[in-house]
Amino acid sequence: MNDNAQKGPGTPILSIRDLEVTIAEEPETRPILKGLQLDIPKGQTVALLGESGSGKTLAAYSVLGLLPAVASIAKGEILFQGKDLRRMSEGQLRTIRGNKIGMVYQEPSKSLNPLMAVGKQIGETLRLHKNLGRRAAREQVLSLMELVGIPDPRRRYRNLPHQLSGGVKQRVVIAMALACRPELILADEPTSALDTTVQAQIIDLLSRLIHDLRMSVFLISHDMGVVAALADRVAVLKGGIVVEDGPVKEVLKNPAHPYTAALLSGAVHSAKTHVATSVAQIEPTDAACPFARDCKWVTHICRMQTPKPILLAGTLPEQQRLVRCFLHMPKPTTTAKKS
């Protein structure tokens, strides 16, 4: 496909199409993402919600071309502003990372150099991508530090990361991600390393920035509260695929997939959610619905295959609700026989 073929006014800023990622584990490879689909419309915050180990960070690394050596992309397209990031050279990706796509990593150590003053670190991003001189970069850094609510920026500028509290450190990380005014922010569990009170403050900050700067955000989280507070849409990841996707308010109020419902009720972690039946059960096949083992509504077909995405509502992409569950399959219409 032509790189620009999908560029247009309604084009999502990021579009992940049928992404398959595997991990090499001798003697075999383990599939992690099995056809991930996700769109981030411009100016929207879209959350990828999933349990620990479900492949959220690998999805983020796929976008940035930063997968660890054991992981590889088997298939799929990752279109950023209509262009496939997978077809870009390392040099081209370097002009995008930190510049057009700002990143808040799950581990703060990935963002911060422990031996460099934090102000200088924020400035490095600007100097690298925006070709700014030292003085101009410093002025911008100070206003960025103010923007993210760091008290006394001139003094904090010179601090090393370990001299800052967890909350201020996370504000520095956010300032770095915003420095070049990127088109998209990729935020991987932006609050999970923080304690509860600080978490709330950082959520408030992100919420204000998303609103004031009209940011487009790819938010990654396992935390329903964070997703509810920040995202416009949510895609629920289970078994390497998105099992439900829709506007946050609607999905949380009225989950369509039994897995989402179980996540919301906290039942996912409390052993199995299904009620044992006396009917002889067959083992789910590899192609089964990823929730077939634990679903209380499971039927024969769920153990054999996963349904294709079913459109529940919405004509515009921002309003669409999709679910992959046989419970929502349209019932076949019966036509009355003519006598």
Ligand X SMILES: Nc1ncnc2c1ncn2[C@@H]1O[C@H](COP(=O)(O)OP(=O)(O)OP(=O)(O)O)[C@@H](O)[C@H]1O
* Site of interaction with ligand X (CB under 6 A): 23, 32, 50, 52-58, 68, 70, 106, 222
> Could you tell me the CA-to-CA distances from 12 to 27, 42, 80, 102 in Å, in that order?
39, 6, 8, 17
In the bound state with ligand X, the residue whose beta carbon lies nearer, of 52 and 335, is: 52
Q: Position 173: which residue type?
A: V
- For residue 96, which phi and psi values (nearest 5 degrees)? -95, -45
Q: Which does 6 bind (CB under 5 to 8 A by kind): ligand X, Mg ion, none?
A: none
Query: Of 70 and 311, which CB lies nearer to ligand X in the complex structure?
Result: 70
Q: Decide which of Mg ion, ligand X, none touches 52; Cβ closer than 5 to 8 Å per partner kind.
A: ligand X
Question: With respect to Mg ion, which residue has the nearer C-beta, 51 or 124?
Answer: 51
Q: From ligand X, Mg ion, none, which one binds at residue 241 (CB under 5 to 8 Å depending on kind)? A: none
- We find the least distance from the C-beta atom of residue 34 to ligand X, in angstroms, to be 12
Instruction: Give how many residues touch Mg ion by CB under 5 A.
Output: 3
Query: Which residues are CB-contacts of 247 (< 8 A; sequence separation ≥ 6)?
Result: 232, 233, 318, 319, 321
Q: Which of 15, 22, 44, 57 binds Mg ion (CB under 5 A)?
A: 57
Residue 289: CB minimum distance to ligand X, A: 19
Q: Does 260 bind Mg ion (CB under 5 A)?
A: no
Q: Closest approach of Cβ 305 to ligand X, in Å?
A: 24
Q: With CB cut-offs between 5 and 8 Å by kind, which of ligand X, Mg ion, none does residue 23 bind?
A: ligand X
- CA 112 centroid distance within chain: 21
Nearer to ligand X, 58 or 172 (CB): 58
Q: Answer yes or no whether residue 191 interacts with Mg ion by CB under 5 A.
A: no
Per-residue tokens: 179: 């420095």
Shortest separation between residue 58's beta carbon and ligand X, angstroms: 4
Q: Nearest approach, Cβ of 33 to ligand X (angstroms)?
A: 9
Whole-angstrom Cα distance, residue 83 to residue 92? Answer: 12
CA pair distance 179, 125, nearest whole angstrom: 7
Q: Which of residues 92-151 bind Mg ion (CB under 5 A)?
A: 106
Cβ 50 to Mg ion shortest distance, Å? 9
Tokens of 276: 């044992």
CA distance 184 to 138: 23
HSE-up of residue 279 (Cα within 13 Å, Cβ side):
7
Count of other CB atoms within 10 angstroms of residue 286: 6
Dihedral angle of Cα 54, 58, 60, 65, to the nearest 10 degrees = -170
Taking the least distance from each CB to Mg ion, the nearer of 179 and 231 is 231
Reported in sequence order, the residue ranges of 1-82 that DSSP labels E, i.e. its strands, are 14-25, 28-40, 45-49, 71-80
Residue number with CB closer to ligand X (168 or 268): 268
Which of 58, 177 has the CB closer to ligand X?
58
Q: What span, in angstroms and rounded, lies between the C-alpha atoms of 256 and 258?
A: 7
Q: Is 62 in the site for Mg ion (CB under 5 A)?
A: no
21 vs 215, which CB is nearer to ligand X?
21
- Nearest distance in Å: CB 155, ligand X: 34
Q: Least distance to ligand X from the beta carbon of 172, Å?
A: 21
DSSP letters, 20-37, are EEEEEETTEEEEEEEEEE
Instruction: List CB contacts of 215: < 8 A, sequence separation 6 or more.
Output: 43, 45, 185, 209
179 binds, among Mg ion, ligand X, none (CB under 5 to 8 A by kind): none
| Inter-CA distances, 105 with 39, 57, 291, Å | 20, 9, 29
* Residues engaged in binding Mg ion (CB under 5 A): 56-57, 106
